[in-house]
Structure 1
Amino acid sequence: MCDIFTKKNAKELLRNKYIVFLGDSNIRAIYKDLLWLLNFNTLITNEALKRKLEQSFAGDRLQKGRILNRGRDYTEVREFKSEGVHAEFHFITRCYSKDIEEMVHEWKKKPLTAPDVIVINSCLWDISRWGPNGVPEYKDNLVKLMKLFKSCLPERTLVVWVTVPPLSNKIRGGLLIHQVEFMQHTLRFEVMEANTFARQVVVPHGFDILDIHYYLRMQILGRAPDGIHWLPIPMRHITNLLLTHICLSWNYPLPGNFSGPSLERFKKLATEEKKPEVVLPPLPPAVSQKNKTPKKTVLTPFRKSKAATKVAASPLRKAIKEKLGKTKFVSSPDKEKTLTGASDQRGANDVTIYTLQQDNVIEECTEKKTVNSKRGKQRRKNRRQAHYHPYNNSYYSHFGQYLQYPIIWFYP
């Protein structure tokens, strides 16, 4: 939940502040909506959100970028300065690159020129437009970026990683070119897992996460027809979330245009002393008991121990076992087609002799049972190695190892 900001409230909060937006088209939409709020105090139009590479928008200037294309080398740099508010937007297709590294090192050389707030996210381009190794490289680049921010930025700089909002199952637009159209049905699951991974990397480095995916999951009707971008009302909600987050981080008083129990709870969490977060896996009840001796046999999900399959012998089982122990299986010399029984007088005990149809019946049954057993073991091994859940057909992607539960919910 967030407070509601007007033009006056936003200018008072951001006076003499420097904000840098680094990201894709969704981050550009946040940048544009903020400038619209600072200038007109109304909802931005959908046409204004769609425009790209215009020479001027709401008082800003296009600093870099002349050709509109769908490639990874697309660049767009915008700058806004008015009444003490300084904002910049840089379109990036990768969270870590040489340009970002040079920019951050320049801020390290001149700490006074470093921004007060950095809003960043480029996840969609990282995991979809950089080939089959895009996801592993995105993981490494995100860690590099956080280490770079930690070592070069001053303490006063507030870094906010914005999660990717919910995507549709049918995506169209400039993001997915013809070569990667197959990803449009699974990209929404990749995004949720990427958001989880980003939280595990960004927070331990001491930076903030603004989970707009959580706040927009019930506002699917406000999503644009292309399945990626959002309409003006959800965009103003995101802007209010960002400004509320900045207020709580700087201990700046909120405007008070909205009040609710959830907002009051967030205020208390922001004022409380932050304790180091320690996440431990839950222990089973047997392990938590002090005087409990550990079990000798450990059962796994895919193999059963002999102790688990052992069944107590009943009188009927004992009788069958004794009878089978005296039974001999032999082949008939004249290859009879029917089973016959006879009595062997060589021993003191009567031994039933069963004449079988063919000599290799028992051998064939034994071999078939052995082959089926080997096939079953190989099938279970392949299932464990693949990204596939054997019980509910859940989809697992490259980020699956970071989730403790399968993805089982869907967005329309």
Structure 2
Amino acid sequence: MAVGIDKLGFYTPSLALDLVELAKARGDEPDKYTIGIGQSVQTVVPNYEDVVTMGVNAAKEILTEDDLAKIEMLIFATESGIDNSKSAAVFAQELLGLSPFIRTIEMKQACYAGTYGLMQAKDFVTLHPDKKVLVIAGDIARYGLKTPGEVTQGAGAIAMVVSADPAIATINDDSVYMSRDVADFWRPVDSTTALVDGHLSTDVYKEMFLTLWQRYQEQTGHELADFAGFAFHLPYTKMGKKALDQIMDQADNQQQAFLREQLTASQVYNRQVGNLYTGSVYLALLSLLQQGQLTDGQRLGVFSYGSGAEAELFSLELVPGFDKAVAGQDVLAQLAQRQNVSVAEYEAIFQSQLFDSSKNQESDAPDGTGLCQFVGWQDGQRRYRFS
């Protein structure tokens, strides 16, 4: 029985910052950001957005009445949780109108948790083929103003419906994975911004990909020529190239050129959004599915990485008609409709987040958007609405 990704939705907030302008404001050469890092624009998060609103907005456009009736579990992967006890999944369950008779859980392991959630969903549906699982992977990458990580900020959420006989891709049973304690990225519980050793993180990312690729080949017998493309976790788009370059000598010149084109296709959306941690690799997948040169039955590689560190490499097989299943969402149009903000406006928005639950306060949420919004704190509780 085939189990995999049946639907795939994406959402990012409606404000954006041109990284050329940020580079000028920080006294850096724009090429450092746009070429060296590989980022052009980053999403800016207003104080009426959080992982719950982004996850709900990503999911609500792809869910049908049939989905709502058959979803038995909601897995919410994030490292930007809004409560140390109550899961984002519980908020999302009610806001999406899901049945009360389902399991809801939040998962955390840096940027990797979305993949763990996807694999748990696959296992559940394999045992319960008449049921579906909703997996949401959403985050806000927040490093602080004028920090080395500032250029790799961003935000957004991916929503995936996992089912039997999926419309997009089958998840193959070929995963290889590894974990080890590495101090490359972390966020203490008393901090609203992350800490990162960028060079170490890049080294560990590349090392884990190469190690898992070798292990994958040993266990499956597959070669690079068996793949029509890869979706990488992209904290910045150049990272995927660094990983793939390590194995390019295993392909002939024609295959190398093709894989580079496919890699570029997978980077289109992330380049315009920035880092969304748990959702990053699946935004790259959506970009590859919509912008790449793909046909039914092809195999795609997926490399998921989470600092700290944990990684997994597995493959998907595209099912007939996958292109129609992913054609409903015009991501480029969504990104183009964002409002550009100046560096000064971005800095003010960055500082306007409502982190203090001890005060009754309202966010800047506008009316009439039709979107799920965080409207503020009341008696220590978070309040949401569809405006």
Output the TM-score relative to the length of structure 1: 0.27
Structure possessing the higher radius of gyration over alpha carbons? 1
Q: Which has the higher contact order (CA 8 A, sep 6+)?
A: 2
Q: Which has the higher helix share?
A: 1
- TM-score, normalised to structure 2, is 0.28
- The structure with more strand, counted as a fraction of residues: 2
